[in-house]
Chain A
Amino acid sequence: MSIERFLDNSISSWMAGDGEHSDIVMSTRIRLARNLNGYRFPLAFTEDEAHKIDQSVSATLLDANEDLQMHFSSIQIKDLSELSRQVLVEKHLISPKLANSPMTGSALISDDEAVSIMVNEEDHIRIQCLFPGLEIQEAYKQADAIDRVLEKEVSYAFDEQFGYLTSCPTNTGTGLRASVMMHLPALTITKQMNRIVTIISRLGMVVRGIYGEGSEALGNVYQVSNQTTLGKSEEDIIADLQSITEQIIQKEREARNALLKHSANTLEDRLYRSLGILSYARIMTTEEAAKCLSDVRLGIDMGLIKDVDVTILNECMVFMQPGFLQQYAGTTLNTSERDLFRAKLLRERLQQGEKTKTKGENSYDV
C-alpha cells in the first residue's frame, strides 16, 4: 500500500461520525506507551539501537496480519517530504514529535487508518487506536490485542513496582492514555467550560482545547483524557473516563436545550450567519473557519440546519489545516493564499453537502 493513499484522503475511519453519541463525541483515542528491554530510550539511544528496535517491531506487526485481522503499511519518516509529514500529523496518524525525528522514527499505519503504531517516538513503541464516536472500550480492546501480539515477540521493559517503564514519568504504570474529543459548543457559549475543567482536573483527568492550550478551544472541540497512569488499572481508567464523558455529554445536552428554550432566535441567527459565511466568504482564517464550522455542526445536531452533511465538522477541521490545503493545492501556499484556498474549499464542500443541489464540478473529492 503506498503512502499516497494516506496523504490524499482527508477522511480517516475515525471521522466517519457514526459512533456512539457521535453528535457530541467526535472520536475516541487510546494510546499505549511501551519500551523494549535492553535498549536506551529514544532520548538517549544511538541510531543503531533505533534501527534494531524498528526492525523487530515492524517485522512482528507486518507478520501479524492474521492474528489481528488487519494490514499495516510501514512508513519511514526520513522518506517523507516535510509536507507529507505535516499532513500525517494533521490527520492525527503521527505526532509532531515523530515528524521531527526524521533519522530514527517510523510508523505502521493500518489500511483503515484506525491504528497507527509509532516507533521510536518518545518511547520505543506507541500504539494508537482512533475510533469514531464514544468507543473507549472498543478502542482499548484493539490496542490491547496489538500489545499482546507484540509482547509475545519482544521483551518489554516492565517493573513489578512501577509497571510499564516509559521515558516520561507521567506515563509510567499502564502507559495508557485514553482520550475523547468532544464538540461542546453549548457549554462554551454558556460559559460553563472553566468550571468543568476545574472539576475534572481534580479527578485525575485533563481537558484541553484540541489545537492549542488557549482558554477557548478552536472550534469548541475539547479533548478529555486521563492524567493518572500509575496505581490505577486499565479498566478503572477507562471506566472513569467513560463516566465523566457521559456526564459531560449530559451537561452539553442540557445546555443545548436551555439555549433553544431561552434564546432560540439569537441562536438560530448565529448559526445561520455562520452557514452564510462558510457558503460565501472569500477569505477564511483557521480560527474563523473553526468557529463557523462549529456553529453549523451545532445547527445540524439541533435540527435547526438541514441539508448539510453531519460529517462536515470532523472532516473540514482536518482538511482546512495548512498541510492539507497545500497537499490539495499541489503547491506551497503562504498564509493569505491559504486563507483564500481554504474559503474556496469550504464553499465547495458545503455545496457538495447540500443534498438538494446537484453535484458541482468539484475536483476535490473529500
Chain B
Amino acid sequence: MICENCKQRPAKVTVTQVHNGEHFERHYCEVCANSLHPFYVEYKHDPLSLHQLLTNWFNHTDQQPMQQIQKKPPLECEVCGWSIQRFLDEGKFGCASCYNSFRGQLPTVFKRLHNGNVTHVGKAPGAFGEKIALKKRIEAIRLQMKDAIETEKFEEAALLRDEARELEDRLVAGGEEKHVD
C-alpha cells in the first residue's frame, strides 16, 4: 500500500479519524504522517467557540457583576424573551432590544471583541446622522463658549450661548430640520 497523501512512499502509519460518528482509516508514510499529524492528541471537547469565550470572559474577569446577575432575577429582554445567559450561550442576540436590555453588560463583551472599543464611530442612518451631527456641533460651540469666557469675550460668549440653545431646541424637536449648518 502506498501513502494516501504523497502517493509515492509506502504507507506505514494508520490514522483513525472519527467524523460524525463514522470511523475512517487513513494510511500514510512516516513523512506525511508526521507533517499531517505531528501531535497525538485526542480531542475530548469541541473546538473553542464564540459562546464559550463569552461565557468564560464573564465568569473569569467579571466575577462581581456575574454574581449580582445570578442573585437578582435573571436579566431578560422584554421583546424576544432571551435571557443574558441565552445570549452568552448562543453568542448571538435575539433582537435589537437585547442591546438595550443587556446594555450594562455589553461593554465587557465588546471590549474583548473589538480591540477595547465600546462605542460606535462612523456612519449612521439619515435621521440619526443628523441628530449626531447636531450634538457634535453643540459640543463644539460649548467649547468655543468656554474659551470666549476664559478670555473675557463675553459678547461673543453670549452669541454662542444663543446659538447652542437654538440647536438644542432643534435637537429636542427631533432633529428634523434638514439644514444643520
Give the B-binding residues of A (Cβ under 8 A).
35, 37, 39-41, 43-44, 122, 144, 147, 151-152, 156-170, 172-174, 204, 227-235
CB atoms of A230 and B80 under 8 A apart: no
* Residues of chain B within 8 A of A152, CB atoms compared: 126
**Minimum distance in angstroms from A168 CB to a CB of chain B:** 5
Interface of A, secondary structure class, is loop
Q: How far is the CA of A55 from the CA of B150 in the complex (A)?
A: 58
In the bound complex, residues from chain B placing their C-beta under 8 Å from that of A204 are 114-115
Segment at the A interface, from B13-21, B91-99, B152-160: B91-99
Known A41-B92, A162-B99: A231·B120 in contact at CB below 8 Å = yes
The interface residues of chain B, by DSSP majority, are classed as loop
Cβ A157 vs Cβ B117 within 8 A: no
- Interface-central residue, B80, B96, B125, B132, by most chain A CB under 10 Å: B96
Contacts of A174 in B (CB 8 A): 120, 122-123
Query: Do the beta carbons of A170 and B118 come within 8 Å of each other?
Result: no
Q: Are A231 and B128 in contact (CB under 8 A)?
A: no
B1 at interface (Cβ–Cβ under 8 A)? Answer: no
Q: Point out which of A122, A162, A204 has the most chain B C-beta atoms below 10 A from its C-beta.
A: A162
A313 to B98, CA, bound (A): 44
Proximity string of chain B (88-116) to chain A, C-beta cutoff 8 Å, 1 when within and 0 when not: 00111111100110010010011001111
Can you list 30 A-B pairs with a CB-CB distance of less than 8 A? A37-B96, A40-B79, A40-B80, A41-B80, A41-B94, A41-B96, A44-B94, A44-B95, A122-B92, A144-B123, A159-B100, A160-B120, A160-B128, A161-B119, A162-B106, A165-B93, A165-B99, A166-B93, A169-B91, A169-B92, A170-B113, A173-B117, A204-B114, A228-B114, A230-B114, A230-B117, A231-B115, A231-B116, A231-B118, A231-B120
On whether A43 and B117 interact (CB within 8 A), knowing A157-B96, A158-B124, A169-B109, the answer reads no
Cβ contacts under 8 Å, B119 to chain A: 161-162, 230-231
CA distance A165 to B128 in the complex (A): 13
Q: Determine whether the beta carbon of A234 is less than 8 Å from that of B80.
A: no
Contacts beyond the supplied A204-B115, A227-B114, A230-B118: 10 A-B pairs with Cβ under 8 Å: A44-B94, A144-B123, A156-B125, A162-B106, A168-B93, A169-B91, A228-B114, A230-B117, A231-B121, A232-B114
Kindly state the separation between the CA atoms of A189 and B155 in the bound complex, as whole angstroms: 71
CB distance from A331 to the nearest CB of B (A): 26
CB contacts (< 8 Å) of A169 on chain B: these are: 54, 91-93, 106, 109-110, 113
Q: Which of A39, A158, A235 has the most CB of B within 10 A?
A: A158
- Determine if B122 and A232 form an interchain contact, defined as CB atoms under 8 angstroms apart: yes
In the assembled complex, which residues on chain B have CB atoms less than 8 Å from the CB atom of A165?
A: 93, 96, 99
> Which A residues touch B96, using CB under 8 A?
35, 37, 41, 157, 159, 165
Question: A41 near B93 (CB under 8 angstroms)?
Answer: yes
Give the residues from 111 to 168 in chain B that come closer than 8 angstroms, CB to CB, to chain A: 113-126, 128, 131-132
Contact of A43 among B94, B109, B118, B131 (CB under 8 A): B94
Contact of B114 among A44, A161, A229 (CB under 8 A): A229
Cβ of B50 under 8 Å from chain A: yes
Whether A44 pairs with B121 at a CB distance below 8 angstroms is no
Whether the Cβ atoms of A40 and B94 lie closer than 8 Å is: yes
Specify which chain A residues have a CB less than 8 angstroms from the CB of B58 in the assembled complex.
Answer: none
Q: How close is B134's CB to chain A, nearest CB, in angstroms?
A: 12
Are B99 and A44 closer than 8 Å at their CB atoms?
Answer: no
| Residues of A close to B92: CB separation below 8 A | 41, 43, 122, 167-169
For the complex, what is the distance from the CA of A159 to the CA of B99, rounded to whole Å?
8
Set of chain B residues within 8 Å of A156, measured between Cβ atoms: 125
Nearest to A213 among chain B residues (CB) is B47
- Give B8 Cβ to nearest chain A Cβ, in Å: 13
Check A161/B90 contact, CB under 8 A, given A169-B113, A170-B50, A172-B110.
no
Contacting residues, chain B, for A160 (C-beta < 8 A): 120, 128, 131-132
Give, as a whole number of angstroms, the nearest-CB distance from A35 to chain B: 6
A228 touches B123 (CB 8 A): no
Measured CB to CB, the nearest residue on chain A to B93 is: A167
Contacts of B99 in A (CB 8 A): 159, 162, 165, 172
A230–B113 touching, CB < 8 Å: yes
Q: Is A163 within 8 A of B120, CB to CB?
A: yes
Q: Which residues of B contact A170 (CB under 8 A)?
A: 50, 113
Q: Which residues of B have CB within 8 Å of A164?
A: 120
Chain B, Cβ-Cβ closest to A154: B125
Q: How far is the CA of A147 from the CA of B100 in the complex (A)?
A: 24
